[in-house]
A = this chain, B = another copy of it.
Amino acid sequence: MNDFSAAQRSRVTMLDVAEHAKVSKASVSRFIGDDRALLSDAIALRIEQSIAELGYRPNQMARGLKRGRTRLIGMLVADIRNPYSIAVMHGVETACRQHGYSLVVCNTDRDDEQERQHLALLRSYNIEGLIVNTLGHHRDELQELQREMPLVLVDRKVEQFDSDMVGLDNPAAIAIALDHLEERGYRDVMLVTEPFDGTSSRIERVSSFKQQIAQRSTLRGAIVETGSELTANLNTFLKSPGPGQKALFCANGIAALASTHALRELGCKLFDDVGLIALDDLDWYPLVGSGITALAQPTAEIGGRAFECLLKRLRGDDGPVRTLDFAARLVVRGSTLGNLR
């Protein structure tokens, strides 16, 4: 059984191990760290046994305090209930683990004040790097933070803020979507987006959409925001005469959810009455109506590369800021059958 007196102490420290093994703290420290080679076999064995016997675990707080390295990465997430965020976070976490880092996640619930607080919080815990996926309404604090640690933006740029960034190639994604819709015979496309709040990816998608619609004489385009008016607005869109078959283009998973809800309310047959293509590929897309055609983002890779960016910087890379734009992948389902039907 365990040594009773040691087990009863709520925390076994390095000193306890040292005394138990009749060596100095320094030797225990060397055993714990990467200097194990410098120890004699006899002492190493004694220490190993003492550690096992006492159930000692080094205190990362004290360690970090001394070395300045906490092995902690912070991540600021705007909306933890957005499946995209979760997927990216999962990618980040996997990469972190592979390199011996741990992830501290803060959810801001889209609230600016919480973003401030969490930013301060993460800093106070001596994280070594920061992954940011928020509105970024606190440029000054981000700037300050970036002087202390590497920082990478995910999905959303922050205006006038220079830093590594990994996200989606939005113009290319829009092009893929419009190509597909056009090919399938749709002529009247409405982009459904969450309300504007400064999110850069949202803005990029909308402006790319406008721009590319303008360049395609065969297509007509319009834009609508999610919200209480959505159903009414979609109704107007569907009822109005147009140049041909109508389709919805949902700018993310949340817009897709809202749009599908609205279409059902309007009594539409999914998706004979209107086509639909959505950014992000959620697990339930195949189940709705004839299935929702998606532009899948490589979320795991996005998360992984975000961490790798951090790692490179931590290892001394101070080259110019990089931007990684991933390509969306088209997953065709029944919602864009169009003239094949």
Chain B residues positioned under 8 Å from A62 (CB to CB): 65
Flag whether A9 is at the interface (Cβ < 8 A).
yes
The number of residues on chain A lying at the interface, defined by a beta carbon within 8 Å of a beta carbon of chain B, is 64
Contact with B along A140-166 (1 / 0, CB 8 A): 000010011110000000000000000
Instruction: With CB as the reference atom, state the residue of chain B lying closest to A258.
Output: B283
In the complex, are the beta carbons of B148 and A8 less than 8 A apart? yes
Q: A139: shortest Cβ distance to chain B, in Å?
A: 15
In the complex, are the beta carbons of B90 and A147 less than 8 A apart? no
Q: A86-B81, A286-B261 are in contact. Are A2 and B102 (CB under 8 A)?
A: no
In the complex, are the beta carbons of A287 and B313 less than 8 A apart? no
Q: A106-B102, A288-B287 are in contact. Are A2 and B61 (CB under 8 A)?
A: no
Q: A265: shortest Cβ distance to chain B, in Å?
A: 10
In the complex, are the beta carbons of B61 and A65 less than 8 A apart? yes
Flag whether A128 is at the interface (Cβ < 8 A).
yes
Residue of B5, B114, B124, B261 near A287 (CB, 8 A) is B261
Q: A14: shortest Cβ distance to chain B, in Å?
A: 12
Q: A150: shortest Cβ distance to chain B, in Å?
A: 6
Stretch at the interface among A37-45, A52-60, A174-182, A242-250: A52-60
Tell me the complex Cα distance, A277–B82, Å. 25
